[in-house]
Structure 1
Amino acid sequence: MNMIAVPLARTYDHPSYEDPYDAVQDYNRVVEAAAKNPNKGSAALSKVVELPRSRIRAWVDDDGMPDPARGVMLAQRHGWTEPDAEMTETLAALAGHLLGGGSISTETYVPSVAAGRRVSLDEIETAFREVGVRPTRRHEAVDSRATEVHPATHGSVLGRTLAAWGCPVGGRSTVETLPAIVEYTGEASQVAFLDAYVRHRAVNYPNKATSRLHGQQPLAFHQAIADLITTVTAEHASAGENGVTVSADAMRALDLAEV
């Protein structure tokens, strides 16, 4: 198992396990034992793996699977837990959209993103499609609510995987660090994250060359954003209590300067 599988499994609750990742390990042991003993049913296999038959019966006799194992397997099949370079960039971009204009639901772990001043709903839908899920929209007919894009398929597993990578769950107001996916493959994922995040948050002021990334997160998060911009662009960005000030040279280096 890779480093993301463990925190991903632990986003689930399982009535028989204090640590849900243990359910993943037990399931894998049972599957391996069943493959080696194809003629044994759940009663016989329970003695082999030293687990109660009541726990493994559905796994062996009905092709069932504990939720943590199902989530890890689905995330692995989509390439989210050990992403290649292309998938890392798309996950990093989606993380930028989430931290810039979205959230992961506390109750369901489904991620959703609203449009920004420079980010359209169509672009957000594309970001979800590129990680392998089908997007849909909600609140389009509700004047008092912003229209949001969220996955219509595998949304909970995607949100749990993004949470395992370090995206905040339940809002963005307390996040202090950048998601680990941003650093997973170096500069390419850093640029993908910043491109999405900055276009959600940047505001340009009349008669000023700088841009402002407004935010209500702790100073540590704003400093992490400023440091990342400086690292990627070799230009100036400074953090404050209410956001990040980005120099015109840095915005040009990110190819995000507005005429």
Structure 2
Amino acid sequence: MNDSQPDVVRGIQAAEARGWLADHTTPEQEQAVVELAAWALSGGSIHLDGEAYAYFALEPHSRDEFERIATTAKLSYRIIRENDPDRATEARATTDGSVLARVFAAMGLPTHGKSRDNPTHFPAFVNQLDAPARERFASIYVLNRASEHDGKDTLTIREERPASYLNELVALLRDVSNQPITRSGYSITISAAAAEVLRRDT
């Protein structure tokens, strides 16, 4: 008798064992998985072709925050290109990375790259999160995408994405901060008051 299990079954079991599925996790770990999803969307990518994996871009100012989130999510990872000044430093899972990538895909995160034409909408699950989780999602997004300006407290996000996606991002940031946020073309301007709210947890 062949006792081997299909890959999908092993994947589900691995996700359950790591607490990456809602029915097999703690509130803290579930929140950390949502934060990893925010990181993959704002500062990373998900690939399902060939060997599935997700990567997370790291900057000096964000590395400690990523380590905290990964620890809570029980994500073991390795750092890639840490000393390469010409390429982005990345974190990739060392165990069950393909499982995590497929969990993200099931959550509705884009898996075909990001461009001016894709994705057309923000992941729908974000609208179903409670207020604290939405705030954390928005804060992670701002941590990875927003640029500072000398002598100003405002922040700018520039992303070449479809208008529908950017409008939904603006709606999220406004809802969470309850402060002025505007968009012009591919640029989103976060007011000083909004920036204070969106950066207070990171």
Aligned partner of 2:11: which letter?
A: G
Instruction: Report the counterpart of residue 74 of structure 2 in structure 1.
Output: 132
Q: 1:143 to 1:67 in 2, by over 3 A?
A: same
What secondary structure, in the 3-state scheme, does the structure 1 residue paired with 2:110 have?
A: coil
Structure 2-normalised TM-score?
0.85
Match of 1:221 among 165, 169, 190: 165
Q: Which residue of 1 is the match for residue 93 of structure 2?
A: 151
**Per-residue deviation at 1:154?**
0.5
Give the equivalent residue in structure 2 for 1:64: 4
- Considering fraction of residues, name the structure with more strand: 2
Q: Specify which structure has the bigger relative contact order, considering alpha-carbon pairs within 8 angstroms and separated by 6 or more residues.
A: 2
> Following TM superposition, by how much is the alpha carbon of 1:84 offset from its aligned partner in structure 2, in angstroms?
4.6
Deviation at 1:181, TM superposition (A): 4.3
- What is the identity, as a one-letter code, of the residue corresponding to 1:253? V
| Pairs within 5 Å for 1:63-212 | 63-82=3-22, 84-107=26-49, 108-116=51-59, 118-120=61-63, 122-173=64-115, 174-212=118-156
Q: Deviations over 1:166-213 (max 9, x none)?
A: 111142321233334434431121111111110111112234442111
Is the Cα–Cα contact under 8 Å of residues 153 and 195 in structure 2 kept in the other structure?
A: no
Identity between Structure 1 and Structure 2 (%): 28
In the comparison of the two structures, how many residue pairs are matched?
196
Structure 2 gaps, min length 5: none
Deviation, 1:100, is 1.9
Taking the aligned partners of 1:142 and 1:255, their CA distance within structure 2 comes to 28
Q: Report the aligned-residue RMSD.
A: 2.3
> How far, CA to CA, are the matches of 1:245 and 1:190 in structure 2?
19
- What residue identity is the alignment partner of 2:138? L
CA distance in 2, matches of 1:88, 1:184: 14
Q: Do the aligned partners of 2:35 and 2:136 also contact (CA within 8 Å) in 1?
A: yes
What's 1:22 paired with? none
User: Are the equivalent residues in 1 in contact too, given 2:45–2:56 (CA < 8 A)?
Assistant: yes
Q: Residues 172 and 124 from structure 1, CA distance in 2 versus in 1: closer, same or farther, beyond 3 angstroms?
A: farther
What secondary structure does 1:126 align onto? Answer: helix
- Once residues 182 and 118 of structure 1 are traced to their aligned partners in structure 2, the CA distance between those partners, rounded to angstroms, is 25
Instruction: Return the alpha-carbon distance in structure 2 between the equivalents of residues 199 and 118 of structure 1.
Output: 9
Structure 1 counterpart SS, 2:183: strand
Gaps of 5+ in 1: 1-60
Residues 105/86 of structure 1: CA separation in 2 closer, same or farther (3 Å cut): same
TM-score (ref. length: structure 1):
0.68
